Amino acid sequence: MSSQTFLAALTGSFSTPCADNPTVAMIEAAYRHHDMNARYINCDVKADGLADAVRGAVAMGWAGFNCSIPHKIAVLAHLDGLAESAAIIGAVNCVVIRDGKLTGENTDGKGFLESLSGVTDPKGKNFCLLGAGGAARAIAVELALAGARHLTIVNRDAARGKDIAGLINDKTAAEATFQPWTERFAIPRDADVLINATSVGLGDAEAMPDIDPDSLRHGMVVADVIPNPPRTALLRAAEAQGCTTLDGLGMLVNQGVISVRLWFGQDVDATVMARQLQDIFGVART
Ligand code: NDP
């Protein structure tokens, strides 16, 4: 008898539309590199198909799945439990299935935190966060749970910005204030880290969030969530001012690393995933 197995561990993603989502290529590159007998399947799941898709994943013994638009909140109804940050954020983009029980995690902010931890410890630091959408919310919560001192949330839509500031003040030990974004914004002098968590720069290397570039100070950490193109106008301006920069491609790769860790308890090589994405995005390998 052969010792070969023809049964792979299954993982994947539920979202729609999803044809442009490169996560499958990134994660399967890691599976191949580490010789893991696992597959990742990109599934186009419409809103009214989510319950069946989740039941199917459980029935087929999947190790877990990512979920994205439009399922990040709707999936909560199908889960048995939530990780701490996912419960505060109120959204899930990674589900772990163990012994038939489903646990919801949110890797958006964790992926950012993993990038940040390579350059600074968030504990006791002041953050300026541009944007108040899903990415900003997840990043704000993870920073607060990691010991950030203060977060300034800057957004055009005041209701969304106030909502995140309120969430941080009510549910975590960190402090947050909201700053309306009505004109060119000067980064507060006491900010240690600036994060662009808006969609400005996505698919447009010249698009720059409306901030005063002279308020970027030497020694400040400047991070962008935009994965493509990764070298955004903001990061180029920050480099010119002597800031330390972090790109959104690294954050995206870290999310893949974290998902595989959650599903299989195995740490995969981030470089292999980054190269795969860089090839897909047509940017120079780092
Ligand atoms: P949302 O649609 O939930 O939020 C978009 C945010 O961008 C809002 O705060 C919105 O402000 C702001 N915004 C949009 N246009 C402008 C503008 N011209 N000037 C100022 N603010 C603007 O999106 P997400 O939070 O889900 O995603 C945001 C970005 O993060 C996307 O580009 C996405 O690709 C990226 N992302 C990257 C990840 C990674 O791993 N690298 C992970 C997740 C997301 P307002 O509320 O005022 O409209």
Same fold, 9-105+251-281 and 109-246: yes
ipTM of the complex: 0.99
Q: Which atom of ligand 1 is nearest to the CA of 135?
A: 25
Which residue minimizes the CA distance to atom 23 of ligand 1?
A: 133
The correct CATH number of 109-246 out of 3.50.30.30, 3.40.50.10680, 3.40.50.720, 3.40.50.300 is 3.40.50.720
Catalytic residues: 72
The list of the chain residues with pLDDT below 70 reads 1-2
User: What integer pLDDT is reported at residue 1 of this predicted model?
Assistant: 54
**The three-state (H, E, C) secondary structure of 4-44, written as one string:** CCCCCEEEEEEECCCCCCCHHHHHHHHHHHCCCCEEEEEEE
Do residues 16 and 48 touch, judged by C-beta distance below 8 A?
no
Query: How much is the pTM?
Result: 0.96
For residue 125 the two structure tokens come to 């630091």
Does ligand 1 come within 6 angstroms of the Cβ of 135?
yes
User: What integer pLDDT is reported at residue 2 of this predicted model?
Assistant: 62
Distance from Cα 197 to the centre of ligand 1, integer Å: 6
Q: Which CATH architecture fits 9-105+251-281?
A: 3-Layer(aba) Sandwich (3.40)
Query: Is beta strand 94-98 parallel, antiparallel or unpaired with respect to 64-67?
Result: antiparallel
**Predicted confidence (pLDDT) per residue in 174-232, tens digit:** 999 999 999 999 999 999 999 999 999 999 999 999 999 999 999 999 999 999 999 99
| Domain boundary assignment for the chain | 9-105+251-281, 109-246
